[in-house]
A = this chain, B = another copy of it.
Amino acid sequence: MKRTTLKDLARSLDLTEGTVSRALNGYADISPRTVDRVQQAAVKLGYKPNQNARLLATGGVAEAVAYVIPQNHSSLAEPFVAQLLRGLDDSLSRRGWDLLVSHSRSAEDEAEKISRLITSGRVSGVLLTRPFRNDARIKLLQEAKFPFVVHGRSAHCENYAWYDIDNELAIKTATLHLIEQGHSRIGFIGAPLYYNFAYQRLEGYKLALQESGIDYDETIVEITEMRDDAGESAAANQLDSDHPPTAFVCVSDTQALGVLAAVRTRGLTAGADVSVIGYDGLKIGRHANPPLTSMAQPQVQSGRELGDMLLAIIDGDDPTKHQVLKRAELLLRNTVGPVVKDRNYH
């Protein structure tokens, strides 16, 4: 039960392979009558061109790109992924390209997967996310001269294409918002600093404090994994201390959700006793308790733009022409309120 090939088709029609091929591909030098016969026969015999042969002959490239999903990606942040995916697909499918996703469980695993991807010839471009400050994957791709774009950027991002949110500005905005509400003791729930975005967000926090003449106090900055439980225990830590913060700025909604939990279990209410602001603008934040104020970035749109960028680069564009920096918007919900000075809940 072999697939029917061009040769089969040709034989059954008493034509040559070349003729059949041209008929199928709409060449002008085939009589309409023949084209017809060929098409009929093609569907009848269930002919499906062998893609490998076709691409080999035409010298075509794989019409697909890969999205490599970061390793220990918080399961709560996954809406993020799904949205991006959709945007990407939007962009790619406009050209009929395919999207291939690849997970990985460790950094080495990821490097290995990437080199497999670039040598396999299965994709002609790669999309990276959540780069480290100093990212080996980027170096890999650069050395291989393989088309790629990164969602986010590493510390040295001059020579490749990226699409990022101004993390510094975003967190600075968030922090200033808190400060405007009278808060001055603002806890920071961060992520591991080898992530460049985490580093930048911490910088933004520091900047806001500095501009406002507030001293940076490292005892109220917590660096945790981007999970809700991590955020929760970090916040618990802070809230149970002698001199707890009156507000928290978090680098992810996931962590912020955890912070809210910690706040609740202590009989406090966010937005009144304690203010909390997250990052990502996840839709589910609307259903949090209370609805979570956050810094939002439109993911679907990001995916779309990232796809377009990647496509352009594959087409030969200079990657350095594609470096876009967006800004996040403050998404006001209910977890931020003016400071209460006389709080005393111990």
Contact = CB atoms under 8 A, between A and B. Distances in A.
Interface of A: 48-53, 55-56, 60, 62, 64, 69, 75-76, 78-79, 81-83, 85-86, 89-90, 93, 96, 98-103, 113, 116, 119-122, 228, 257, 260-261, 283-284, 286-290
A100 B119 CA distance: 18
A308 B55 CA distance: 29
Contact of A101 (B85, B260, B284): B85
SS of A interface (majority)? helix
A290 B290 CA distance: 10
B119 A48 contact: yes
A154 to B, nearest CB: 24
Contacts of A98: 100, 102, 122
- What 4 A-B pairs have minimum CB-CB distances, sorted nearest first? A289-B289, A78-B82, A51-B121, A52-B56
B283 A260 contact: no
A314 to B, nearest CB: 15
Contacts of A86: 69, 103
Contact of A93 (B56, B93, B103, B287): B103
Nearest to A58: B52
Nearest to A117: B98
A306 to B, nearest CB: 15
Contacts of A90: 103
Contact of A75 (B122, B283, B287): B283
Contact of A64 (B83, B121, B122): B122
Contacts of A78: 78-79, 81-83
Contacts of A261: 286-287
A76 B289 contact: no
A76 B121 contact: no
Contacts of A101: 85, 89, 99-101
Given A85-B101, A93-B103, 15 more contacts: A48-B121, A49-B121, A51-B52, A52-B55, A76-B283, A78-B78, A79-B79, A81-B85, A90-B103, A93-B113, A228-B283, A284-B284, A287-B289, A288-B288, A289-B289
**Considering residues A75, A98, A284, which has the most beta carbons from chain B within 10 angstroms of its beta carbon?**
A284
Nearest to A62: B51
A212 to B, nearest CB: 31
Contacts of A85: 69, 81, 101, 103
Contact of A100 (B49, B64, B75): B64
A52 B121 contact: yes
